[in-house]
Amino acid sequence: MAARTRNGGIMGVEEVRCTLARRKGRGRFGSGGNGGDEGQGYSQEDIIASVGKMSKLSKPGSGFRTVEVGGGIMIVSVPTELDNDHMEVMGSAMRHGRGEVCVEDLSKDTGWDTERVKRSLNLLLAEGIAWLDVDKDSVERYWFPSVWKEGLTVSRVEKDDENM
């Protein structure tokens, strides 16, 4: 919830796991997710289960849930109803590996007409889930901070795993 202004209320499970690992030993998250063993952290399953419990304890319509986006799991903490089109747009940004897309990319990826693409992007912009950047050639690029950051986090974790 604290990151809503930066990511529109959508954050990758891996990013949450890494954030909790960094906070280990500080404050109320210090005991770790697996019995307090310092060698263990929070697993993806721990986080998904916690979000499921939070959604049951929260007010109806509060927005806490997990969704699959482009093969990854993201946590949504906003009440906005995101449909399959919105998930496909974010999935396309994830598949491009940069966390950004333009209307032309989305039209090619999805086969949708420009109006449908823009309708999906406009809701994501309005909710703060996407950011708009117009480059020097006047091409509108839509950035998804949660998708972009999740890609960086996953890459970093994969490199750390390779180095062990």
pLDDT at 141 over 90: yes
Domains annotated on the chain, with CATH: 4-163 (1.10.10.10)
Q: pLDDT by residue (tens digit) across 5-29?
A: 676 777 888 888 877 887 765 544 4
Q: How far apart are CA 78 and CA 65, in angstroms?
A: 9
pLDDT at 117 over 90: yes
Assign 3-state DSSP to the chain and report helix, strand, coil percentages, each to 5.
Answer: 50, 15, 35
* Cβ neighbours for 134, distance < 8 A, ≥ 6 positions apart: 140, 141
3-class SS of residue 30: coil
Higher pLDDT, 34 or 87: 87
* Overall pTM surpassing 0.85 (yes/no): no
Mean pLDDT, range 46-61, rounded to an integer: 77
- The identity of residue 103, as a single letter, is V
